[in-house]
Structure 1
Amino acid sequence: MSGHRTYINLGLGACLSASLSAFAADAPTVHVYNWFDYIGPTTLKDFQRDTGINPVYDTFDSGEVLEAKLMTGHSGYDVVVASNFILPALIKAGALQKLDRSQLTNLQHIDPVLLEKLRANDPDNQYAVPYLWGTDGIGYNVDKVRAALGDQAPVNSWDLLFKEENLAKLSQCGVGVLDAPAEIIPIALHYLGLPPNSSNPADYKKAEALLLKLRPYITYFNSSKIQTDLANGDICVALTWSGTVFGAMQAANEAAKGVKIEYSIPVEGAPLWSDNLVMVKDGSNPQQGLAFINYLLRPEVIAPATNLALTANANKEATALLSDEVHKFSNIYPSAEVIAKAFTLQPQPHEIERVRTRSWSNIKNGQ
């Protein structure tokens, strides 16, 4: 979800933006803000060639940065990619423009199941179109987890991480957890049989107690180190985003040092997140923004984004165009049963957010 990419090539957006801007200074423009390495390698050039619109493209690496810019207003952007989790706050603040669906002819390609999941954050699918999506789950080093817990290690269950006796053994080979209270605490609530989007402060004390019990065995809370550390074998298990684990799998395969990484979505259910195309309310180029969104909804345009980011897209017709590597990583596209059990995270009232922030501080500090 917010901030769930750990990819390199931070300068890609700036380089493309500069070169494209110089190429078509007088053309109509669209200003776009997206995660880095989250679009097909030739998509911006192709869009300009096919439409005559000049995309001015910037990238970010933190959902908090995006949210702050949009909440402040006058961001200068027309189209941004926003996680489902922050949509309610953006909608409530009047930061987003309703989509003119009559101009989005390629909406027909979007999976209705994912549109339905998105309704939890965008009730009538009025503001957002799902672009890329994934899950929170468990990335693990197959051999090291087997060595620590034996052949019957519960790798497909949250028990792997939330049962103290398991985590104590895994701590010997390294445990990484996202520094993301808005995701980790709801997962703990769900594990305890409580509503992941609970607004009851007492529930958060129970989740805090569970995580404090586990805290001595967690090597670190960090959202950016996990991919590299998993790939190198420096940690053996992580609670993290799907795209991070697939990136680690790819890196480990390329390094060919015998590090075997897998990703599991626990059978009890896990968060499903989506990064969505939205239009900024005060954007200067609404027509060009709609044209850009509609272009990204083409199957042949969105497939390369999935191939690069190793993250599923919401386009039904794009599946046949995906790389062999994407098809090989089975959990990039979970089964219908897994999706049905997945839950969508929602922002909480301010007083609950304060409770959660305080709990997270206690958990990280181990007190």
Structure 2
Amino acid sequence: MSRHRLYFNLGAGACLAASLSVLADEGPTVHVYNWYDYIGPTTLQDFKRDTGIVPVYDTFDSAEVLEGKLLTSRSGYDVVVASNYSLPTLIKAGALAPLPREQMPGFKDMDTDLLAKLANNDPGNQYAVPYLWGTNGIGYNIDKVRAVLGDKAPVDSWDLVFKEENLARLGECGVAMLDSPSEMLPVALHYLGLPPNSTDPEDYKKAEALLLKLRPHIAYFNSSKFISDLSNGNICVAVGWSGAMLEAKTTAEQAGNGVKIAYSLPKEGAPVWFDTLVLLKDAPHPQQGMAFIDYLMRPQVIAPVSDHLNYPNGNRSATSLVAEATRNNPAVYPPAAAMATLFTLQPLPPSTERVRTRVWSKVKNGQ
């Protein structure tokens, strides 16, 4: 369930990892495993300067890679950035160490509303600290959607893409959705008034019927192509991640191509996801690992990361330090009323995952 920037300078990343590994001989180390391109440009160097601990830093590009690494062998890592969706699997497998609150003075600054939502995947908030988070919603071309549906287009509602009369017209200018049954099917279920994490096969038949009815009007399912297509005007609507839509908006503005993009968090509610900091049970350097987690919990450290990546963080005290344009953007920091409607996604039993896979295959193929 990768929601992160879908570009990465591999040369620069490899050089950074290599340079930090070389520096590991200089003193104590902490081994960190994170999503690619998912940290501030100077965060690692600042951590070494401020603590004397050298971060040995590696990256991955999917939750499956992360889980495979942690569940099949001793990884050698201390701290990992894991999605909330992966937490139940990692906790059940005994891969994570409970976080010692007495070593976490910054925990008091964590947003209690976010912690309550995260507790759906980490009961009691025992194992994970929020790092960055975001939502799934609708990105759209303001002018093209207005031209097709008029000034009263329901851009604040899932009706925009799940009502056939709307989607049939928007299909003329191009609609894309994530190629992710674990993210799209819960949204369809939620729209139908059903539990987004349902395990009832009958519920999935209803979601399948809805999506098959809409399928002729959807240009494609893809989890990366929509960003560039939205920014250059090749499509007019996409269902995807908040940060990806902001990336499309920024790209269009920088290109000066006249494409105006907006992101909507539907009023009916939408998925919220978290990327979290966790300490591995077999961490070779647990104290250094806790030092790294504590460092990223500092408001003055995490605020620039939010500015750089256009994702909110879980630290209430950091909000005032985030750039005004970022913290006042409801697409990045949703207002309280919108936050109350958000729901988390959960791993489902293998039997239900098989049902979702079959349904998604039918939907993508249109039959």
CA distance in structure 2 between the aligned counterparts of 1:212 and 1:73, rounded to whole angstroms: 41
Q: Following TM superposition, by how much is the alpha carbon of 1:227 offset from its aligned partner in structure 2, in angstroms?
A: 1.6
CA distance in structure 1 between the aligned counterparts of 2:247 and 2:281, rounded to whole angstroms: 34
Q: How many residues align?
A: 366
Counterpart of 1:331 in structure 2 is 331
CA distance in structure 2 between the aligned counterparts of 1:68 and 1:342, rounded to whole angstroms: 29
Aligned ranges 1:156-235 → 2 under 5 Å: 156-235=156-235
Distance 1:24 1:75, change over 3 A: closer
Letter in 1 for 2:236: C
Q: Following TM superposition, by how much is the alpha carbon of 1:224 offset from its aligned partner in structure 2, in angstroms?
A: 1.2
Q: Which runs of 4+ in 1 moved over 6 A?
A: none
Which runs of 5 or more structure 1 residues have no equivalent in the other structure?
Answer: none
Q: Is the 8 A contact 1:17 1:55 kept in 2?
A: no
Aligned ranges 1:242-281 → 2 under 5 Å: 242-281=242-281
CA distance in structure 2 between the aligned counterparts of 1:76 and 1:216, rounded to whole angstroms: 48
Q: Following TM superposition, by how much is the alpha carbon of 1:328 offset from its aligned partner in structure 2, in angstroms?
A: 5.3
Offset from partner CA, 1:320-351 (integer Å, 9 cap, x none): 22124414532200011111111111111111
Letter in 2 for 1:83: S
Q: Is the 8 A contact 2:24 2:55 kept in 1?
A: no
Q: Is the 8 A contact 1:35 1:59 kept in 2?
A: yes
* In the alignment, structure 1 residue 50 sits paired with structure 2 residue 50: yes
Between stretches 113-122 and 277-286, larger displacement belongs to: 277-286
Query: Percent of aligned positions with the same letter in both sequences?
Result: 63
Between stretches 324-333 and 252-261, larger displacement belongs to: 324-333
CA distance in structure 2 between the aligned counterparts of 1:330 and 1:202, rounded to whole angstroms: 36
Which runs of 5 or more structure 2 residues have no equivalent in the other structure?
Answer: none
CA distance in structure 1 between the aligned counterparts of 2:192 and 2:48, rounded to whole angstroms: 50
Counterpart of 1:98 in structure 2 is 98
Aligned-residue Cα RMSD (Å) equals 1.3
CA distance in structure 2 between the aligned counterparts of 1:183 and 1:137, rounded to whole angstroms: 11
CA distance in structure 1 between the aligned counterparts of 2:125 and 2:359, rounded to whole angstroms: 33
Counterpart of 2:2 in structure 1 is 3
Q: Following TM superposition, by how much is the alpha carbon of 1:148 offset from its aligned partner in structure 2, in angstroms?
A: 1.2
Q: Is the 8 A contact 1:135 1:241 kept in 2?
A: yes
CA distance in structure 1 between the aligned counterparts of 2:24 and 2:56, rounded to whole angstroms: 10
Aligned ranges 1:1-367 → 2 under 5 Å: 2-11=1-10, 12-327=12-327, 329-367=329-367
CA distance in structure 1 between the aligned counterparts of 2:19 and 2:316, rounded to whole angstroms: 33
Q: Following TM superposition, by how much is the alpha carbon of 1:133 offset from its aligned partner in structure 2, in angstroms?
A: 0.6
Q: Following TM superposition, by how much is the alpha carbon of 1:64 offset from its aligned partner in structure 2, in angstroms?
A: 1.9
CA distance in structure 1 between the aligned counterparts of 2:101 and 2:14, rounded to whole angstroms: 30
CA distance in structure 1 between the aligned counterparts of 2:92 and 2:28, rounded to whole angstroms: 30
CA distance in structure 1 between the aligned counterparts of 2:147 and 2:366, rounded to whole angstroms: 28
CA distance in structure 2 between the aligned counterparts of 1:106 and 1:328, rounded to whole angstroms: 24
Offset from partner CA, 1:23-60 (integer Å, 9 cap, x none): 34241111111112221111100101111111011122
Letter in 1 for 2:206: K
Q: Is the 8 A contact 1:14 1:57 kept in 2?
A: no
Q: Following TM superposition, by how much is the alpha carbon of 1:276 offset from its aligned partner in structure 2, in angstroms?
A: 0.5
Between stretches 328-337 and 155-164, larger displacement belongs to: 328-337
Letter in 1 for 2:95: A
Q: Is the 8 A contact 2:24 2:56 kept in 1?
A: no
SS at match of 2:239: strand
SS at match of 1:57: strand
Q: Following TM superposition, by how much is the alpha carbon of 1:213 offset from its aligned partner in structure 2, in angstroms?
A: 1.0
Q: Following TM superposition, by how much is the alpha carbon of 1:136 offset from its aligned partner in structure 2, in angstroms?
A: 0.6
CA distance in structure 2 between the aligned counterparts of 1:73 and 1:174, rounded to whole angstroms: 44
TM (norm. structure 1) is 0.97
Q: Is the 8 A contact 2:97 2:281 kept in 1?
A: yes
Letter in 2 for 1:140: Y
Q: Is the 8 A contact 1:179 1:222 kept in 2?
A: yes
SS at match of 1:347: coil
Offset from partner CA, 1:99-127 (integer Å, 9 cap, x none): 11111111122111101110100001001
SS at match of 2:196: coil
Offset from partner CA, 1:280-302 (integer Å, 9 cap, x none): 22221111111000000011111
Letter in 2 for 1:337: A
